[in-house]
Amino acid sequence: MATALIILAAGKGTRMDSDLPKVLHSIAHAPMLVHALKAGAWLEPERSVVVTGFGGDQVAAAARQYDPDIRIAHQSEQLGTAHAVAQARAQLDGFDGDVIVLYGDTPFIRPETLKAMTEARVTHDVVVLGFEAADPGKYGRLITSGKDLLKIVEFKEATAEERAVTFCNSGVIAADATVLFDLIDAVGNDNAAGEYYLTDIIAIAQSKGLSATAVRCDEAETLGINSRAQLAEAEAAFQNRARADLLTSGVTLQAAHTVHLAHDTVIGRDAEIEPNVVFGPEVTVESGAKIRAFSHLEGCHVSRGAVVGPYARLRPGAEISEDARVGNFVEIKNAQIAEGAKINHLSYVGDADIGARANLGAGTITCNYDGVFKHRTTVGAGAFIGSNTMLVAPITVGEQALTASGSVITRDVPAGDLALARGAQENKKGLGKRLMDKLRSRKAAKRQSND
Ligand code: UD1
Ligand code: CA
């Protein structure tokens, strides 16, 4: 059965107290809207329509960045959830199949849950996702009879008896597109909020002889985000789940609760992650790699057998090949570090290609930026870069070449050569001791005159 998604994302999110539209606030480095889209992607939707309102252009741009084919419907006035869904109608013109309504501020619906909803559609015309609420608060209440869902009553309209019901509406709904829009056409706004309630379609469906049912999910899945506190809770929930997933898939996390993951972090089996490691977006770590404590990684790839950290920083474009070593206080950006290369201490390597088994001594710096342009550094296989070498790019150091410690390398070094580029040393006979003696006697004289 063909599926289309409608994602409601028009709300301002007043309680976020933010200039940024609510659905663009991030969880694990992705806007919550993207989490909702990713959840829906499991259904392989034929079309997806995001209904925008507050900050519409920004929300549309974020949606299109995730998927250029996403369609946008703008709801200029927020007149209620049924009105919001109705805005998507033109974008679904000619679509034949089921529509599932999701919410940009409800990012954690699991694929299994969406699957259960599509299965329930086989027997019922309209399927609603419900949950048993620990504190039902102001959620809409699901009024059921056996498997049948009779109606949804909004809190504001509910009787005391209905308010006592703890089976609540998540808002997620599935129905055939034509049926859904027909039902929505019949929704009015004569209620306590003066809004077009999407939830009214259940009673309308029943009155038309159509059937409805509710599928249950965990309350955690339907967690809606309305405030920064809830955003922080959602982040924590995401992190806990992502860590648990890694542990299940054979990754060692020595202090799991201290490791911060991104929505797209990929870590292979038998990789080992020490405490306090932060993963920004777009990081892949292969099986058997080791990321040591307090390292920060984003937009990079670490291969099998490589060891990174402690206290390493891998920035976008860092490619660490097999068995390479990136040690403490080393920053790598947009650079390929070939297999077995070592950059163990206090270095900056940016816009560079470091050859296999090359060794960069402590304090090696690629001077990649002239203030206007960025330039590349190439270090050949097996080269040895002496400690505190400045490699002024564009520059190439050939295979098996050496640079002397403290050199400022401004000309290419041919393969196998030794480059020495520093002030020549002069030794003054006995001057060291004479100088120290003089200084010490000066200090002693000063002390005496102060007494
Ligand atoms: C809605 C449900 C309620 C359910 C609850 C779950 C209705 C009438 N009520 O109530 O049964 O328990 O969600 O959280 O549907 N939106 C738009 N345009 C609008 C109105 C809303 O895009 O005109 C979006 C909002 O941005 C939000 C979502 O729809 O993401 C829900 O709207 P909201 O006003 O928060 O509905 P609730 O009162 O929470
Ligand atoms: Ca809400």
Per-residue tokens: 199: 């939830």
Task: Report whether pLDDT(1) > 90.
Answer: no
Mean pLDDT, residues 211-223: 95
What CATH code is carried by the domain that includes residue 194? 3.90.550.10
Mutate to test the pocket of ligand 1, among 81, 126, 219, 223 (most ligand atoms within 8 A of CB): 81
Q: What pLDDT is attached to residue 318?
A: 99
pLDDT (mean) for 65-85? 97
Pair 204, 297 in one domain: no
Ligand 1 atom 8 nearest Cα: 197
Structural domain contains residue 101: yes
Residue 125: per-residue pLDDT: 98
Instruction: Give me the mean pLDDT over the 155-170 stretch.
Output: 97
Confidence category of residue 74, pLDDT binned at 50, 70, 90: very high
**pLDDT score of 141 more than 90:** yes
In this prediction, residues 278-295 reach a mean pLDDT of 98
User: What residue spans of 121-193 are helical by DSSP H?
Assistant: 160-163, 177-185
> Residue 57: which H helix or E strand, with range?
helix 56-66
Picking from 173, 196, 222, the residue at the C-terminal end of a domain is 222
Q: Which residue has the tokens 């542990």?
A: 247
Question: How much of the chain, in percent, has pLDDT values that exceed 70?
Answer: 100
Helices 32-41 and 111-120: crossing angle in degrees, nearest 10, is 50
Distance CA 248, CA 385 (A): 42
444 in a domain, yes or no?
no
Q: Is residue 442 a part of any domain in this protein?
A: no
User: Quick one: three-class SS letters along 105-124?
Assistant: CCCCCCHHHHHHHHHHCCCC
Task: Tokens for 307, please give them.
Answer: 């060891």
For residue 289, give every residue at least 6 positions away whose Cβ sits within 8 Å of its Cβ, in sequence order, or none: 268, 271, 272, 302, 303, 304, 305, 306, 307, 308, 320
pLDDT tens profile 3-52: 999 999 998 889 999 999 999 999 999 999 999 999 999 999 999 999 99
Instruction: Give backbone dihedrals phi and psi of 258, rounded to 5 degrees, phi first.
Output: -100, -5
Backbone phi and psi for residue 228, each to the nearest 5 degrees, phi listed first: -65, -35
Q: Is residue 428 part of a domain?
A: no
Are 140 and 24 in a shared domain?
yes
Classified as helix, coil or strand, 344 is strand
What is the Cα–Cα distance from 174 to 38, expressed in whole angstroms?
17
Reduced DSSP (H G I as helix, E B as strand, rest coil) percent helix, strand, coil of the chain, to 5: 25, 30, 45
pLDDT tens digit sequence for 225-275: 999 999 999 999 999 999 999 999 999 999 999 999 999 999 999 999 999
Summarised one tens digit per residue, pLDDT across range 102-130 is 999 999 999 999 999 999 999 999 999 99
By C-alpha distance, which of 35, 39, 67, 102 is closest to 262? 35
The SS3 assignment for 296 reads strand
- Single out the residue in 177, 201, 222 at which a domain terminates: 222
CA-closest residue to ligand 1 atom 35? 11
Ligand 1 atom having least distance to the Cα of 51:
22
Q: How many CB atoms lie within 10 A of CB 371?
A: 4
What contacts 388, CB < 8 A, 6 or more positions away? Answer: 361, 362, 363, 364, 405, 406
pTM: 0.90
The DSSP bridge partners found for residue 8 are 51, 103
pLDDT of residue 12: 85
- Measured from the Cα of 105, ligand 1's closest atom is 30
Helices and strands per DSSP (H, E), number in the chain:
9, 33
User: Which burial class, exposed, middle or buried, applies to 239 when counting CB atoms under 10 A from its CB (0-12, 13-18, 19+)?
Assistant: middle
Looking at the structure of the chain, the number of domains it has is: 2
Average pLDDT, the chain: 97
Domain boundary among 164, 199, 222: 222
> How remote is the C-alpha of 431 from its chain's centroid?
61
Q: Helix or strand or coil: residue 390?
A: strand
Largest CA distance in the chain: 108
223 pLDDT higher than 90: no
How do residues 86-98 score in pLDDT, each as one tens digit?
999 999 999 999 9
Q: 207 CA to middle of ligand 2, Å?
A: 27
Residue 11 alpha carbon to ligand 1 centre in Å: 8
Rg, C-alpha atoms of the chain: 31
- Sign of the CA dihedral with 117 first, then 127, 31, and 229 last: negative
Q: Which two tokens stand for residue 164?
A: 């006592």
Asked whether the predicted pLDDT for residue 450 surpasses 90, the reply is no
Q: Which pLDDT band, with edges at 50, 70 and 90, does 210 fall under?
A: very high
Please compute the mean of the pLDDT values over residues 147-156 and round it to a whole number: 97
Cα 260 to ligand 2 centre (Å): 28
Query: At 412, which CATH number?
Result: 2.160.10.10
Task: Respond yes or no: is residue 345 known to be catalytic.
Answer: yes
334 & 357 share domain: yes
pLDDT band at 451 (very low <50, low <70, confident <90, very high): confident
The predicted model gives 166-179 an average pLDDT of 98
Structure tokens, 320: 């660490």
Asked whether residue 27 falls in the same domain as residue 166, the answer is yes
The dihedrals phi and psi of 227, each to the nearest 5 degrees, come to: -140, 170
Q: Show the domain range for 205.
A: 3-222
Whether 120 maps to a domain, the answer reads: yes
Q: What's the pLDDT at 180?
A: 98
**How confident is the model over 318-373, as pLDDT tens digits?**
999 999 999 999 999 999 999 999 999 999 999 999 999 999 999 999 999 999 99
Does 187 score more than 90 pLDDT? yes
pLDDT > 90 fraction of the chain, expressed in percent and rounded: 98
